[in-house]
Each structure stands twice: as C-alpha cells, then as structure tokens.
C-alpha cells in the first residue's frame, strides 16, 4: 500500500480546520495544532459573535417600530447578560461542531503553540509546558491575525479597546469613538448605536468602507447617520488623552485640530498577522513584513510549507481562508488547482446589509470597460415594502459588448445571502440576458436582481417608464 503523506496544519481557524478536513477526505494523515480554541478568530472573536450581536440589534430596532408591522409590543429592553449567554451558546455550539468534524474525519488535534525548529520539524509547546516534536511531510500555516493597535499616543489607556473586548458587553456606554470606518468599524457602530450608545466613527480616508462601490457606500452611510451615528471622514487621530471625564481623542481633520470625548475608544484599523515566534527564519518561507508570501497554489517558497488565510494578508475573510485551505490541501495531495479570487464576496452585516462581488463601477471604468449599469431601488420591490425595509439598491455592472456581468452590489435586507447569485454569475461568466431569462420567485428581494439586470437595457418592469 502507498503511504499517504502526513500533513501538519498550524492553526484551527476557518482556514486550518477546513484544510484539515479536505486533506483527510483525500486520505492524508492529518494533525492540527491549535494554541487556543478550534474555530480561530472567526468562531471565537470574529464573524460569529459579531453576527449574534448584530442579529439582536436588528430585531431590537425592528421591535422599536413594531406598530408599523401591526404589533403591539410592550417595553423592549436589552438584557445584556442573556445576550452574552446566547453569544457563548452559539459560539460553543459551532466549536463543538468543528470538534466533531475533526474526530469523524480522523484528524489528530493537538493543543499547543507550534514553531519551526528546523525546516522539517516543528516543536509544539503545550499549555502545561511539555514539548513535543512533530515531523511531517508537509505543513500548512494558518495562524491568522489579531487586532492591530497603531502607535498612537494614549492607545494603551484603559478604555481603549479592540473588537475582541468590544464583543463582551457588560454595560451600554454613553458614548464610543470608533477609530477606523472599515468593516469592523461600521459593524460595531451598528451594534452599539442600536443599543443606545452615541457612536462617532473617525475615518482617515475621504469615505468609510474605502474599497466598496461609492454609490452603495453612500446609501449605507445615509442610513447609519439617520440611526444617529456620527461619521468624521478625512480625520486622523493624533493622540488619545485621559482627562478624567472619559477619553479625549484629538483629531486632525482637514488641517483643523478637533477634540472629541467618549467613554470608550474602539480601535478598528486593520489586523496584525500572527507570524511572530513561528520560527519561519528556520525555513525557506519568504515574507513581506509579517505576511507570508504564497502563489496561487498557496505554496510558499519552501517546498513542503503552504500558507492560507489571514497570515497571507491577501484578503482577510473567513470564506477566503477556507477556500485557500481547500486549494492547499488538494495541491499537497497531488491535484493541480489554483485560487481564483474573482468570485470572493464582501459582506457587511449592518442594517441594511451591504454585499458586493466583482468590480465596482470605478474599478470597471479604470479597467477601460464600456459599461451598461442597471439599478433597482428597493422602494419598488414588494417584499421590501412588506418587511418595511425599503432603504436599499441593487446595482448590476455589465460590459457593453456581450452584457457579461462584471459586478453585483447590493444594499438592503438579505444582501449577504443574495450576493451568492452574483458570485455564481461571475464564475459562469454569465450575461445580463441569462439573468433576465431566469425566472425569479415573487415576492422576493431577489427579484430586484432581475429588475436591475433589465435596467442595464432600460427595460425594468417596475420602474416608471422614462418617457412618461
Ligand atoms: P484565524 O481564524 O485567526 O485562526 C488562526 C488560528 O491559529 C487561531 O485559532 C490561533 O489561536 C491559531 N494559532 C496562531 N498561531 C499559532 C501557533 N503558533 N500555534 C498554534 N496555533 C496557532 N470574516 C468573514 O468572512 N465574515 C465576517 O463576518 C467576519 N467578521 C469578522 C468580525 C471580526 C470582529 C473580526 C475580527 C474578523 C471578522 N472576519 C470575518 C475575519 C475572519 O475572522 C478571518 O478572516 C478568519 O478568521 C481568518 O481565518 P484563519 O484561519 O486564517 O485565521
Ligand atoms: P479594514 O482594513 O477593513 O478597515 C480599517 C479602516 O481604518 C480603513 O477604512 C482605514 O482607512 C481606517 N484607518 C486606518 N488607520 C486609521 C487611523 N489612524 N485613523 C482613522 N482611520 C484609520 O480593517 P478592519 O475593519 O479592522 O477589519 C479587519 C479585517 O477583518 C478586514 O480585512 C475585514 O475584511 C475583516 N472583517 C470582515 C468582516 C465581514 O466580512 N463582515 C467583518 C469584520 C472584519
């Protein structure tokens, strides 16, 4: 019998545990080393707990206007203790699920911190201080990332927190300044503002969510502002001062120095890659600062070492980490596959949600495409009216010659689920005609994708005729 390769995976987040399962499915002898808990950032302090809080925040806001939905609801109150218990319940349930998947796939899980002793072996230091050496044919690095705290004066004051601490809510603060208007910034702004905290986002770029389609960002921004969130763009934090009455954040905005005060400051300016202490200097792995350099097959410069997920710094998303994990495992097991980032969706779980796949309008124009853009505002969509969530837009970006879909952008309810349609359209190189000839169920929000596709040809059914 041919001996199957042994693979050791370092890190049990959505990159590492998915790579482990795929490698085991292909017959590898798999060991996974995790220093904390299975599920990594995503399950423990990332995607899952934030969405538990966002879900409750959304229902809370909806119940506040229950009379519009024909309901008479008594006083609605947030029970923080119960919410924290529920968050833990959801996280634990999913971690137990990953543990079950490890056991049923015959994957050995070792708890401890791994580092390379030499190019062929790792040392695992267990929490009880014991050390074990492991030698495998291949390694997959999936060590993820942690919150980044930039070198700003006052950043280490108590009260200056990161997303990890912001998930453990023991009281509703009067006010919070969020430094960074990226995905973490707006999701936490949505949570805290819904619970009654005065939130100010400070973003150094001219716009929040700088990588998303500008027009769509404007719609979300309008709603965030309507919900009481203050947004200071083109604003750079100079220092944080603790003057007794909360924290003062000194900001430079268009050359002017402004002082704003809050109870807490949440720093959400990106993430730092976990490669320190991994002993990569003992291998041939090439790095660019703390990022591990990989090619489309997820190979590093060292023939027996692959890297996936946040530690590659390519696109810090759980679904990217998992997709890379599958590609790495398959390549090690003799398949010849490459990562294609074209269909990666970006999702923001605010109310309304925002989701995007493919090129933004500006990116498509910069690439020289002649475009046909179709839009459908949700105010014209039956289901949106039924659920009383009409603030939103669907935008289809297609190129003129064949009508090929280049991008789909959605702000509105269910956006994060609906975006799968756009990802599939891009994978299949679908045209707007193919969406148009597909029958969409009524009444659904998804119908608006059909309408927006029709609008690329000025043929939307539920938009008043332009000749009227
Ligand atoms: P991680 O999930 O970070 O896992 C790495 C694991 O490696 C950790 O468990 C760590 O303990 C372990 N480890 C590190 N070093 C060692 C070592 N030396 N030895 C042993 N083990 C080690 N992404 C989305 O797609 N959707 C979302 O909604 C979303 N929401 C987020 C919300 C927040 C607040 C945050 C912070 C992130 C969010 N993300 C989201 C990003 C997502 O969590 C990450 O992209 C994803 O977890 C990366 O997976 P990974 O496997 O690369 O790393
Ligand atoms: P980010 O890179 O998305 O946003 C950081 C923001 O901070 C940027 O807009 C940047 O311009 C701004 N910024 C940087 N330095 C600043 C400063 N000194 N002052 C003011 N603004 C400053 O990073 P993030 O929001 O911390 O998220 C980290 C990662 O986690 C992202 O890659 C994201 O993809 C992932 N994540 C994803 C989701 C999701 O998919 N829903 C949710 C949360 C986090």
Q: Which atom of ligand 1 is nearest to the CA of 14?
A: 51
pLDDT at position 127, please?
A: 83
Give residue 147 CA to ligand 2 midpoint distance, Å.
10
450 by Cβ neighbours in 10 Å (0-12 / 13-18 / 19+) ranks as buried
- Ligand 2 neighbourhood includes 304 CB (under 6 angstroms): no
**Cis-peptide, bond into residue 443, ω within 30° of zero:** yes
Give residue 144 CA to ligand 1 midpoint distance, Å.
5
pLDDT at position 3, please?
A: 79
**Can you tell me the distance from the alpha carbon of 382 to that of 380, in angstroms, rounded to the nearest whole number?**
7
Interval 361-386 mean pLDDT = 98
pLDDT at position 35, please?
A: 97
Interval 330-345 mean pLDDT = 98
Interval 33-37 mean pLDDT = 98
pLDDT at position 266, please?
A: 98
**Residue with the two structure tokens 């309810």:** 413
Give the alpha-carbon dihedral of 54, 57, 61, 66, to 10 degrees. 100
Task: Indicate which ligand has the atom closest to the C-alpha of 164.
Answer: 1
pLDDT at position 1, please?
A: 61
**Can you tell me the distance from the alpha carbon of 205 to that of 313, in angstroms, rounded to the nearest whole number?**
21
Residue 243 has pLDDT above 90, yes or no: no
**Can you tell me the distance from the alpha carbon of 109 to that of 113, in angstroms, rounded to the nearest whole number?**
12
Interval 170-187 mean pLDDT = 96
pLDDT at position 468, please?
A: 58
Q: Which residue of the set 263, 319, 442, 462 is catalytic?
A: 442
Residue 337 has pLDDT above 90, yes or no: yes
Interval 97-123 mean pLDDT = 97
Give residue 181 CA to ligand 2 midpoint distance, Å.
7
Confidence of residue 220 (pLDDT cuts 50, 70, 90): very high
Closest residue (by CA) to atom 7 of ligand 2? 180
pLDDT at position 244, please?
A: 77
Site to probe by mutation for ligand 1, drawn from 18, 46, 192 as the one with most ligand atoms within 8 Å of Cβ, is 46
- Residue 287 near residue 296 (C-beta atoms within 8 A): no
**Can you tell me the distance from the alpha carbon of 190 to that of 228, in angstroms, rounded to the nearest whole number?**
10
- Ligand 1 neighbourhood includes 330 CB (under 6 angstroms): no
Task: Indicate which ligand has the atom closest to the C-alpha of 318.
Answer: 1
Average pLDDT, the chain: 96
Interval 372-390 mean pLDDT = 97
Q: What is the per-residue pLDDT across 389-435, written as a single tens digit (0 to 9) for each?
A: 999 999 999 999 999 999 999 999 999 999 999 999 999 999 999 99
- Residue 378 near residue 448 (C-beta atoms within 8 A): yes
Confidence of residue 467 (pLDDT cuts 50, 70, 90): low
Give residue 185 CA to ligand 2 midpoint distance, Å.
7
Q: Which atom of ligand 2 is nearest to the CA of 237?
A: 19
Interval 123-142 mean pLDDT = 96
pLDDT-above-90 percentage for the chain: 96
Interval 194-219 mean pLDDT = 96
Closest residue (by CA) to atom 8 of ligand 2? 182
Interval 303-318 mean pLDDT = 98
- Ligand 1 neighbourhood includes 23 CB (under 6 angstroms): no
Residue 70 has pLDDT above 90, yes or no: yes
Task: Indicate which ligand has the atom closest to the C-alpha of 325.
Answer: 1
Closest residue (by CA) to atom 23 of ligand 1? 317
Interval 257-264 mean pLDDT = 96
Taking the alpha carbons of 59, 62, 67, 73 in that order, is the dihedral positive or negative?
positive
Tokens representing 44? Answer: 């423990």
């Amino acid at each position: 019998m041919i001996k199957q390769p042994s693979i050791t995976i370092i890190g049990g987040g959505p990159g590492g545990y998915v790579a482990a399962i795929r490698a085991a499915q292909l017959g590898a002898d798999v060991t996974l080393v995790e220093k904390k808990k299975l599920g990594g950032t995503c399950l423990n302090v990332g995607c899952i707990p934030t969405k538990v809080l966002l879900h409750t925040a959304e229902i809370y806001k909806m119940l506040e206007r229950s009379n519009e939905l024909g309901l008479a609801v008594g006083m609605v109150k947030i029970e923080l203790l119960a919410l924290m218990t529920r968050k833990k319940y959801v996280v634990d349930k999913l971690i137990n699920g990953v543990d079950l998947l490890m056991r049923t796939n015959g994957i050995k899980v070792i708890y401890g911190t791994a580092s390379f002793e030499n190019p062929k072996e790792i040392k695992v230091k267990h929490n009880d201080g014991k050390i074990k050496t492991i030698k495998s044919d291949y390694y997959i690095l999936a060590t993820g990332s942690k919150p980044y705290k930039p070198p700003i004066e006052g950043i280490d004051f108590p009260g200056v927190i990161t997303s990890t601490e912001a998930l453990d809510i023991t009281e509703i603060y009067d006010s919070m300044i969020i430094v960074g208007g990226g995905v973490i910034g707006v999701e936490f702004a949505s949570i805290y503002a819904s619970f009654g905290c005065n939130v100010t986002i400070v973003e150094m770029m001219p716009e929040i969510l700088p990588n998303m389609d500008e027009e769509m960002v404007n719609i979300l921004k309008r709603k965030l502002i309507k919900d009481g969130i203050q947004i200071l763009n083109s604003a750079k934090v100079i220092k944080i001062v603790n003057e007794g009455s909360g924290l003062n954040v000194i900001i430079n905005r268009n050359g002017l120095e402004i002082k704003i005060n809050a109870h807490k400051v949440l720093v959400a300016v990106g993430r730092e890659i976990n490669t320190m202490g991994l002993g990569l200097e003992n291998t041939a792995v090439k790095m660019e600062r703390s990022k591990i350099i990989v090619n489309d097959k997820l190979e590093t410069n060292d023939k027996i070492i692959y890297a996936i997920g946040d530690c590659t710094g390519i696109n810090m998303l759980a679904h990217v980490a998992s997709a890379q994990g599958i590609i790495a495992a398959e390549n090690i097991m003799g398949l010849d596959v490459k990562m294609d980032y074209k269909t990666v969706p970006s999702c923001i779980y605010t109310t309304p949600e925002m989701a995007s796949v493919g090129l933004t309008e500006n990116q498509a124009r910069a690439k020289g495409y002649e475009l046909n853009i179709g839009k459908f505002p949700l105010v014209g969509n039956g289901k949106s009216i039924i659920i009383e969530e009409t603030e939103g837009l669907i935008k289809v970006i297609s190129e003129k010659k064949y009508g090929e879909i280049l991008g789909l952008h959605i702000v509105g309810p269910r956006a994060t689920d609906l975006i799968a349609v756009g990802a599939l359209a891009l994978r299949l190189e679908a045209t707007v005609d193919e969406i148009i000839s597909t029958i969409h169920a009524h009444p659904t929000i998804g119908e608006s994708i059909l309408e927006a596709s029709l609008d690329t040809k000025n043929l939307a059914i539920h938009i008043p005729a332009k000749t009227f």
